[in-house]
């Protein structure tokens, strides 16, 4: 991955994105953005725009967003769910599930190529096993009972996938378009906000505003200057192409450990 800028057309599993989100896969007690590391938003803001230069001269991993395969869990290393339990032992099941949703929201709203490990949408566990490539079937198989147990998160992820497929703002095609449309929003600590904008008011393009709140408390955030009326399509409970509500304000509250996505 260190040579990604010199290998145009070649994709890489973006380990830097993964580690910024949940902490090191090799030091499982380490925390990241989703599990309580303050100021992790500084690191996350290097990757949500496809890990490319946002302005000329910026340090970056890649030259094209399609090189960045954004993920936080794969077949190797500990699952996110298991690492959350080790890295944040003081939390409870409700908070772990919120962290899992926030992680998946980050994967599905980042520029680049999203990658989701099978079963991640229902909080897949391998009971703490760190590398199960040679473990028996009982450990690696899908536990479909968890799909029922975490039904709300399954539906939430399905909604996010529909949103990504239907709204081109989440699939900008190249560095030039990202540099024109994508900008970060000033936010409180432990919050990442970004705006994917129209290039003119006449353009037929759904603008998106995304806030990812990794803090353990509700935060008040400001919308980009000049924007007041927006429709909310993702909150801490639901993700839907059918708007959940309309806001007519320059600020909005984002609940703890959750995302809010607005479009206009």
- Identify the pLDDT of residue 26: 93
pLDDT at 3: 80
* Mean pLDDT in residue range 200-223: 95
Q: What's the rounded Cα separation, in Å, for the pair 256 and 264?
A: 24
Per-residue pLDDT tens over the stretch 134-158: 999 999 999 999 999 999 999 999 9
Mean pLDDT along residues 203-214: 96
DSSP-derived 3-state class of residue 108: helix
Structure confidence by residue, pLDDT tens digits, 5-61:
889 899 999 999 999 999 999 999 999 999 999 899 999 999 999 999 999 888 899
Average pLDDT, the chain: 96
Our measurement of the distance from residue 88's CA atom to the centroid of its chain's CA atoms, rounded to an integer in Å, reads: 19
- What is the mean pLDDT of the segment spanning 70-76? 95
% of the chain surpassing 90 pLDDT: 91
Share of the chain above pLDDT 70, in %: 100
| Tokens standing for residue 255 | 């609940």
Res 2 pLDDT > 80? no
pLDDT in tens, 223-252: 999 998 999 999 999 999 999 999 999 999
185 pLDDT more than 80: yes
Report helix, strand or coil for 262: strand
Q: For the residues 190-204, what does the mean pLDDT come to?
A: 94
Residue-level pLDDT at 4: 87
Nearest-angstrom CA–CA distance, 97 and 149: 11
């Amino acid at each position: 991955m260190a040579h990604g800028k010199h290998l145009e057309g070649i994709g890489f599993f973006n380990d830097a994105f993964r580690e910024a989100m949940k902490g090191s896969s090799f030091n499982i007690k380490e925390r990241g953005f989703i599990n309580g590391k303050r100021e992790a938003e500084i690191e996350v803001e290097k990757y949500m725009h496809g890990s490319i230069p946002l302005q000329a001269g910026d340090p970056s991993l890649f030259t094209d967003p399609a090189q960045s395969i954004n993920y936080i869990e794969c077949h190797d290393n500990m699952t996110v769910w298991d690492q959350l339990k080790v890295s944040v032992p003081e939390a409870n099941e409700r908070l772990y599930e919120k962290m899992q949703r926030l992680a998946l929201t980050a994967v599905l709203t980042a520029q680049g190529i999203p990658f989701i490990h099978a079963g991640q949408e229902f909080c897949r566990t391998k009971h703490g096993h760190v590398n199960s490539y040679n473990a028996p079937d009982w450990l690696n198989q899908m536990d479909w009972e968890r799909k029922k147990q975490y039904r709300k998160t399954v539906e939430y992820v399905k909604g996010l996938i529909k949103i990504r497929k239907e709204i081109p703002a989440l699939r900008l095609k190249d560095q030039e378009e990202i540099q024109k449309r994508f900008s970060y929003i000033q936010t409180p600590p432990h919050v990442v906000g970004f705006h994917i904008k129209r290039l003119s008011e006449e353009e037929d393009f759904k603008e998106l505003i995304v806030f990812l709140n990794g803090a353990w408390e509700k935060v008040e955030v400001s919308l980009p200057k000049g924007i007041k009326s927006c429709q909310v399509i993702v909150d801490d409970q639901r993700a839907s192409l059918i708007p959940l509500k309309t806001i007519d304000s320059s600020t909005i509250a984002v609940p703890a450990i959750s995302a809010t996505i607005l479009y206009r």
